[in-house]
Structure 1
Amino acid sequence: MPALPSFDLRRVRERFNRAAPDYDRHAAVQREVGRRLDERFGWLKLEPKRILDLGSGTGQMVRAMRERYPAADVVGLDLAENMLRRLPRRRWWSPRRDAVAADMHALPFAGGSMDVVLSNFAVQWSDRPDVLFGEVARVCASGAPFAFTTLGPDSLQEIRRAWAEVDPTPHVHQFLDMHDLGDALVGAMLADPVMDREVVTVTYPTVDSLLADLRGVGVGNAQRGRAAGMTGPRAWRRFREALAGQAVDGEIPLTYEIVYGLAWGTGVSPLMQGVECGQ
């Protein structure tokens, strides 16, 4: 598996906490892909008692799972506590939100405690997919599905090209190929992984509208070792010009390579240790 740059999780958390109030207004792609992920559960014959949504954000998939499986307890986990404050309550009259603020690489749940684990647009924020998938395998009951979406390496290529004209320093995260993700699932002892992909292109009338959507969903350079300080005004202007120069018929494209994954819990994980903590 290719080496991934490590993330500054404090910076990731800060970005998503800032984005939380307006996230839903900018998350059209995330919503549509989440809808498609939810549809895939229609193919599965399940009666889950407990479901975990990794990187739950403002709660789209929590709502979808509660609607699809009304008898199940659905837990939303996110690194950003401001996102969790927007999760729906279990019942309208209940103060409980079934929300857990935690790092998805260290899940605070007992082994085998989840009948479904899912994740929409969060796996790309992992710089240790082997650890992440190992934790998923640990908390999945035997036979429990793990279904997720993430970004593939062709995502945000327009941003990558524009920065390449200005600055050789990486400004866009490296995303794993679906075959590497499949290998990581197998390495985590998850069974029968199935991977597929699709390309979604969104167009924008201006550079400002494109960048507003990216900022609005928390996208930014959170890699450790990034250049310190603010990007200078001359470099920023050149980047904007390079991005605008990719317009086709007056619209600037932005590409998302959406990777879908499905695998199954086996009751074992390479990360299982002597003591596990329940939630």
Structure 2
Amino acid sequence: MFDYAQVRARFNRAHRSYDQYAVVQQEAGRRLAARFDWLKLAPTRILDLGAGTGQMTRALQARYPKAAVFALDLAEEMLETLPKSGRWIKRKRAVCADMHHLPFATGSFDIVISNFAIQWSHDLGLLLAEIARVLAPGGVLSFTTLGPESLRECRRAWAAVDGGSHIHGFLDMHDVGDAMVRACLADPVLDQEQLILHYPDAMTLLRELRGVGVGNTLFDRSSGLTGRHKWQAFLAALEAEKTGAGIPLTYEVVYGLAWGSGISPMSEEPRKIP
């Protein structure tokens, strides 16, 4: 379970530094956007789920200029980085909300796109059911998320120090696919690849993770500060991961695609934005 007050606070703090450090997130977003080259679509309404600083919002608006693109994020200061002019902002399409409770009418969107947000879900079944609800029949869900090999170097380094919860766990691609089927999303397709960055030292690696809002936001994290001895032991264990290229940091990027079936496990209920 995530402490979403902490998640929101971390991403709000990172809103100015995010684009500077989000190398993997941006590359995965470019690869995700390129997959629309293969899809013949003419959407009228698009939802960027977990929009952050708006990489996918801008990419989809450029690809489909006649569509209304909505950007939704939990962190309001992330949304403040979006463009301040043009028809997009004038129509107030930035929405601060919990992705598990989407404030939109059933069947609202022809495309739901999400880059590096789904891994922050405490209940993937609920999230996918909500996506299935707001997705129009024949609409497209396309997303990236993280697989279990992600951040394995940090996980190993902490395991050498203690048995506490320091690094978030990530679902296997096959579990994500099963959840998509249970949410009544049609013809799900998933694949994955590993992207590995290298850093000159442990502190540079950790500074960049913090720069994109990554931190321990689990409810069962230690309530106190990590002692100096443990912290130094963690840094030493992370330095021990170093190769000739530097300290590696692995991201297992999972790509998902599915279609709206017009069916969702979620019951229909009134929403704030029609």
- TM more than 0.5: yes
Alignment of 1:229-240 (within 5 A): 229-240=224-235
> Distance in 2 between the 1:11 and 1:33 partners?
25
Which residue pairs with 1:15 in the alignment? 10
> 1:89–1:98: 8 Å Cα contact kept in structure 2?
no
Which residue pairs with 2:122 in the alignment? 127
Answer with 81-90 or 105-114: which moved more: 81-90
Which residue identity lines up with residue 210 of structure 2 in the other structure?
A: R
Which residue pairs with 1:244 in the alignment? 239
> 1:63–1:88: 8 Å Cα contact kept in structure 2?
no
Alignment of 1:63-212 (within 5 A): 63-89=58-84, 91=86, 95-212=90-207
> 1:90–1:96: 8 Å Cα contact kept in structure 2?
no
Cα displacement string for residues 218-251 of structure 1 (whole angstroms, at most 9, x for unaligned residues): 1111111211111111100000000001100150
Give the percent of matched residue pairs that are identical in Structure 1 and Structure 2.
Answer: 57
The alignment partner of 1:202 has SS state of: strand
Answer with 146-155 or 221-230: which moved more: 221-230
Answer with 226-235 or 85-94: which moved more: 85-94
Structure-2-length-normalised TM-score:
0.97
List gaps (5 residues or longer) in structure 2. Answer: none
List gaps (5 residues or longer) in structure 1. Answer: 1-5
Answer with 243-252 or 106-115: which moved more: 243-252
Cα displacement string for residues 56-78 of structure 1 (whole angstroms, at most 9, x for unaligned residues): 00000001001100000110000
Q: 1:216 aligns with which of 204, 207, 211?
A: 211
The alignment partner of 1:162 has SS state of: helix
Structure-1-length-normalised TM-score:
0.95
Q: 1:228 aligns with which of 210, 223, 228?
A: 223
Q: 1:258 aligns with which of 230, 253, 256?
A: 253
Question: In the alignment, is residue 272 of structure 1 matched against residue 267 of structure 2?
Answer: yes
> Distance in 1 between the 2:171 and 2:35 partners?
22
The alignment partner of 1:182 has SS state of: helix
How well do the aligned residues superpose, as a CA RMSD in angstroms? 1.4
> Distance in 2 between the 1:274 and 1:117 partners?
19
What is the number of equivalent residue pairs in this alignment?
A: 274
State the Cα distance separating 1:90 from its structure 2 match.
6.1
